Structure 1
Amino acid sequence: MPTNAEIAAQLLRDAADFFRQVGDQNAPIKPQMDHNARAFEVVADRLERSPTDEFAPGTLAANDGANGAG
């Protein structure tokens, strides 16, 4: 049986896929949708790695590459 963290991580990955699909269908917003998708994937990765960890605001992009690269 999956844990709450595993379910949450999968939901985040599904949302990332949704953002990418929206971006693929609408070129003017594709960069923003790709950025959103990457951010959701980064949080999913963190959640899977360490479900109870904390992080300081503003560290997401610097530490995990959520700035659209990747």
Structure 2
Amino acid sequence: MPTHIQLATDLLRNAAKFFNDVGAQNPDLADQMSTNAAAFDRVALLLETDPTGEFVEPEKAPE
């Protein structure tokens, strides 16, 4: 039986795959879908490596 963390990371990685698949089928959305997929993959990695850690938002780039 998977743990909550395993379930969450599987869901996040499946969502990332979905975004990548949508981007591959629709070039107009490819950049945005790639960004979305990377975010979901990153959160899955954070959950796996530090499940009780606090999220620190990256510095925003100057406009």
Q: What RMSD, in angstroms, separates the aligned Cα atoms of the two structures?
A: 1.7
Higher Rg of the two aligned structures: 2
Q: Residue 9 of structure 1 corresponds to which residue in structure 2? A: 9
Post-superposition offset of 1:60: 8.4
- Alignment gaps of 5+ in structure 2: none
Look up the equivalent residue of 1:40 and give its one-letter code. F
Per-residue CA distance 1:15-41 (angstroms, 9 max, x = gap): 000000000010011000000000000
- Alignment gaps of 5+ in structure 1: 62-70
Alignment partners' CA distance in 2, 1:60 and 1:8? 26
Post-superposition offset of 1:49: 0.6
Q: What does residue range 1-70 of structure 1 map to in structure 2 within 5 Å?
A: 1-56=1-56, 58-59=57-58
Stretches of 4+ aligned residues off by more than 4 angstroms: none
- How many residues get paired? 60
Look up the equivalent residue of 2:47 and give its one-letter code. L
Alignment partners' CA distance in 2, 1:29 and 1:53? 32
TM-score, scaled to structure 2: 0.87
Alignment partners' CA distance in 2, 1:40 and 1:2? 19
The alpha-carbon distance between structure 1 residues 60 and 20, as it changes in their structure 2 partners (threshold 3 A), is farther
TM-score, scaled to structure 1: 0.79
